[in-house]
Chain A
Amino acid sequence: MLEASFSRQLRDFTMNVDLTVQPGETLALIGENGSGKSTTLKILSGLMKPETGRIMLNGQVLCDSAARLHIDPEMRNISYMFQNYALFPHMTVRENIAYGLAVRKRPKEEIQARTNELIARMGLEQIADEPVTRLSGGQRQRTALARSLAPRPALLLLDEPLAALDVKTQENMRRELASVIRAENIPCILVTHSIIDALSIADRVSVIKRGTIVATGTPEEIIHDPTYGFSVSENPNLYRGEIHIGKTGKVCVKIGEIYLRAVTTLSGVVNVEIRPEELIISREKLTSSAINSFQGKITDIRPSGLEMLVYVDIGISLAAALTPQSVERLSLKKGDVVVVTFKATAVHIFA
């Protein structure tokens, strides 16, 4: 279990972080760029010193400013996976993964066994002896994760683990990351600015703003708390739902009391994202190929960047992004009853 409480003066604000991570738990630290997320990880790992505070991991004091105690990073047994992975470019995949065990002078057989186990788990057998400079983004991510896990750290720190990947690879890696972290049962802090990462990987989410944790809760609580939800998420249309497959094979996702048609191979409880720009708002019901069509009342219209977000209550609250011209042309206003139309493929399902 990690218990940390520390402060440090940054250029624009003072960091005041208080956090705990239970054994085997994954905590997502979510916040905007420059909110102190990475600094938090650096302080926990010992790469940076807090001005005041105390950090305890599994009963061992790692840092205590009052006692002038600061354990060096190499003695903490905390693995840190950097945003750009920082794989050693002069080593192969295997050498990178074995590094943490090799510098600890573990027996050769143990190093080999653990390295091979992780290579197999991550599906890196084909490229195990390639230099890491030749890997794709996903392969780099897997290698970096394997390298962090190899020494069986007491705590795993992940700094934006998916940010360096393209969108398509991100979706696969997100699922893989979640399952690997769960399998290893290592407590983990995940820093991200994406609510989707937090939703799929974390057990708990903490929102950090200007160096202070302003809220902590389950992913669902955080997303749907209007105070924080909007500040951490670009997309207001995020839900938890359950997949239902009809007798004729129609795939639906049930959110609250509403059934949306979707396309997915997943089952059970899933996360659902509907992008506001994929929604069509009309006065009358449209005849079109889009299969999802719902009537609802406009609850709010507010500007978001160059567009307007029109919130429609169809049993769940859906936000549609429209140009200001469209809002004017349809003379939309609060309280109007409109029709929202979108394709089954606009309902993005992820684990």
Chain B
Amino acid sequence: MNPTARTHALSRIATQVLTGGLILLFLVFISVPLVSLFTRVSVGDLLYAITSEAAINALTLSAATAVLSTVIVIIFGTPLAYVNARIPYKGRNIVDTLTDLPIVLPPTVAGLALLMAFGANGLLGQYFSIFGIKIAFTTTAVVLAQIFVASPFYLRQARSSFEAIDVEYEYASRTLGAGPLKTLFKVTLPLALGSLLSGIIMTFARALGEFGATMMFAGNLPGKTQTMPLAIYSELQSDLSVSVALAILLVIFSFDIILIVKYLGAREKKKYA
């Protein structure tokens, strides 16, 4: 082997070792914290913690608010996503940017903004106050905070699902005698369903994990506004095992979410290929 060839071979091995090392380190960094959550408490402690009042309150509140906010996002978000996918209009980019903003906005900023709008002296809140309606620091505020931060996940996915459906399917349906609404329910939505479902699940997951905006806008009141992420934070100071138990639940749930979304994505690709 001549010297140039040897240098070349050495440098190739070095590159491989370096790449492998970086990948390995990163995977360790991601998985070690997750694993250490599971090693922290015994199964018995876990079951005990999960049935504690604080945990059950947080669980039911989280489930109820996340479901409600997801449903509201679907109802309000679907028409907007459809219009933005199909109809070019002036200012469509501005609308898109606006609805995307909560993804990059720090949740505490979102919470503060909501407080400024819906707080007792807020821009809109002052009028609600006149009628004795209080929004901030109530369960309603939890739902509003979740809608605010989670809606972009649905809007983005829904828009691209509708864009992926050839408009000729809708044209064909119209010329065969179906009105716009019938076409939506018989053709467009069934075709978009798998893809929309991914968006719905991501939105639900984001709503479930909401912390910062809820803390700022809804507070941390057990049974009323204390969702799972907030309970994890609170219980850290009183009962670590409850905190860890709730955290484990969320990890397992999030893992399932990723699996389901990946599965739906793969199925969608196969179905109409």
> Which residues of A line the B interface, CB within 8 A?
45-47, 72-74, 76-80, 82, 84, 86, 88-90, 99-100, 103-104, 133, 147-148, 151, 157
Contact = CB atoms under 8 A, between A and B. Distances in A.
B172 A86 contact: yes
A103 B182 contact: yes
Given A88-B187, A103-B186, A77 B168 contact: no
7 contacts: A74-B175, A78-B175, A80-B171, A86-B172, A100-B177, A103-B186, A133-B272
A47 B171 contact: yes
Contacts of B116: none
Nearest to A79: B175
B166 A79 contact: no
Nearest to B187: A88
Contacts of B272: 89, 133
A47 B191 contact: no
Contacts, number: 65
A89 B190 CA distance: 10
A74 B174 contact: yes
A47 B175 contact: yes
Contacts of B174: 46-47, 72-74
Interface of B: 166, 168-169, 171-179, 182, 186-187, 190-191, 271-272
A-B pairs with the 5 shortest C-beta distances?
A: A100-B176, A103-B178, A86-B172, A80-B175, A86-B168
Which interface residue of B168, B177, B186 has the most chain A CB atoms within 10 A?
Answer: B177
A147 B176 contact: yes
Contacts of A79: 175-176
Contacts of A90: 190-191
B177 A77 contact: yes
Contacts of A99: 173, 176, 178, 186
**Which residue, B174, B175, B186, B191, has most C-beta atoms of chain A within 10 A?**
B175
A86 B177 contact: no
Contacts of A47: 171, 174-175
A44 B163 CA distance: 26
B156 to A, nearest CB: 23
B172 A88 contact: yes
A147 B173 CA distance: 11
A88 B169 contact: yes
A267 to B, nearest CB: 38
